[in-house]
């Protein structure tokens, strides 16, 4: 293989990888979210979302209401969980607490939260 052909292939590879990186960063900036694209991993939200569905996320500072779909990660785990907000508590000092549940689950998510944790806090 000649040098010119190898150089062209390397330039093409750099352009493809660079374009993918640029598109990913554009999603992050445009949607105000660290992870703007997630794949649904379980059937816990059926029939709203099915395993394998791809979701585009936003992270705006709007108020969350009961019934909204939220995405959260548990400390130490990099797996996004997509569930519905079932209860919301707003405290006088301004912090909010949330309880979530998958539509297809019989019980709320307290069993998923970290040991002894009863509510989620908004980041």
Q: Active-site residues: which are they?
A: 44, 83, 109
Spatial distance between the Cα atoms of 111 and 114, rounded to a whole number of angstroms: 8
**What residues contact 80, with CB distance under 8 A and at least 6 apart?**
35, 38, 71, 72, 73
């Amino acid at each position: 293989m000649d040098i010119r052909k190898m150089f062209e292939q390397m330039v093409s590879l750099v352009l493809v990888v660079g374009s993918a990186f640029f598109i990913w960063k554009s999603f992050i900036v445009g949607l105000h979210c660290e992870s703007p694209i997630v794949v649904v991993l379980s059937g816990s939200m059926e029939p709203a979302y099915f395993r394998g569905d791809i979701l585009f996320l936003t992270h705006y500072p709007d108020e969350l209401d009961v019934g909204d779909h939220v995405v959260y990660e548990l400390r130490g785990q990099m797996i996004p969980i997509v569930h519905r907000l079932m209860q919301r508590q707003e405290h006088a000092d301004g912090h909010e607490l949330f309880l979530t549940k998958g539509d297809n689950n019989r019980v709320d998510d307290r069993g998923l939260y970290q040991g002894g944790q009863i509510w989620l806090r908004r980041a």
